[in-house]
Amino acid sequence: MAIDVLKELDERIAASVTRIQQLQRENEQLAKQLAESEHRYHEVAAQLREHETARNEVKERIEKILARFDGIDLG
């Protein structure tokens, strides 16, 4: 009877160790995916800032051009 209990305990410990190792591998994979996602996010955020800057420059140039037309008396 005591041997059966020890055998069952040993099996549970072995199963727990296997599960912990599996979870550690999954955690490593998720950490790697997170790092890659964060890197990509920062790249896209930088591109967005560049596009916003370019858009603002174009907007300012168009406003200056339109301001010139406002100063012309066409009537």
Instruction: Please give the DSSP secondary-structure letter assigned to residue 71.
Output: T
* pLDDT tens-place values along the chain, 75 residues long: 778 999 999 999 999 999 999 999 999 999 999 999 999 999 999 999 999 999 999 999 999 998 888 877 665
Gyration radius from the chain CA atoms: 32
- The whole-number pLDDT of residue 41 equals 98
In terms of pTM, does the model score above 0.75? no
